[in-house]
Amino acid sequence: MIELKSVDQKYGGTQILWDLSLDIKQGSRTCIMGRNGVGKTTLLKTIMGLLPISSGSLVINGHDMSKGSVEKRPEIGVGYVPQGRHIFPQLTVEENLKISLNCSRQPSKSIPKHIFKLFPVLQEMLHRRGGDLSGGQQQQLAIARALVLNPDILILDEPNEGIQPNIVQLIRDVLLKLNKEQGMTIILVEQKLPFARAVGEYFHLMEKGQVIASGEMQELTDQLVGKYLAV
């Protein structure tokens, strides 16, 4: 469903991803893991078309996206929750969600009702400005905004950063539910091991811009954790 082959990625003259190859199966839950600065966000931005690929190939849902731009991602069923949420602070919760509807592959004027079943607080806060929400509420809004597009693949970059434990649990439950009930593919950059183990079926461990170990989550041994994740 997502195939990267021999991808290099650079910021100016600085190479960040090196000959990176990765397969992510349809309907799976995958965690991309690794210490700070190893290139996890760069990998997600590459998948999202936010950074043009300097060499290598990227296929998503059977579409060659090696040259495709970020605007094409919603059309092929990819939703993205960036690190730091990036909601619009001056717009209301409703406006933040409606903005997304314009990019939807199935244009609709109304926000799907199931969004509010997943995140009831957003219904309560519908007319509040995004900037007035708590961090946890903003994260729910960021996830909801991606779900408005009805994606087949949901990509999240550290959704639990700075979020209180009860919202972390809610996000975990929502991701598991979307995967189980809708077959949604979940791709998650996650540094916190308990969350990664609870949500991920598969892991890819990165180091210095390369994937150095991959497998089923139960194969993520203490030895690998000690070597590549512990600080």
Ligand X SMILES: Nc1ncnc2c1ncn2[C@@H]1O[C@H](COP(=O)(O)OP(=O)(O)OP(=O)(O)O)[C@@H](O)[C@H]1O
Query: Residue numbers of the site for ligand X (CB under 6 A)?
Result: 11, 14, 16, 34, 36-42
Round the CA-based radius of gyration of the chain to a whole number and report it. Answer: 17
Q: Of the two residues 10 and 128, which places its CB atom closer to ligand X in the complex?
A: 10
User: In sequence order, which residues have a C-beta less than 8 Å from that of residue 105 and are 6 or more positions away?
Assistant: 74, 75, 76, 77, 149, 150
Measure the CA–CA gap between 206 and 163, rounded to whole angstroms.
24
**CB 20, min distance to ligand X, A:** 12
**Torsion angle of the four alpha carbons 191, 197, 200, 205, in this order, in degrees rounded to the nearest 10:** 50
**CB 18, min distance to ligand X, A:** 12
Q: Of the two residues 152 and 161, which places its CB atom closer to ligand X in the complex?
A: 161
Q: Of the two residues 16 and 118, which places its CB atom closer to ligand X in the complex?
A: 16
**CB 32, min distance to ligand X, A:** 9
Judge contact between 41 and 48, C-beta under 8 A: no
Q: Of the two residues 53 and 115, which places its CB atom closer to ligand X in the complex?
A: 53
**CB 61, min distance to ligand X, A:** 24
Instruction: Output the six-digit token pair for 216.
Output: 């089923």
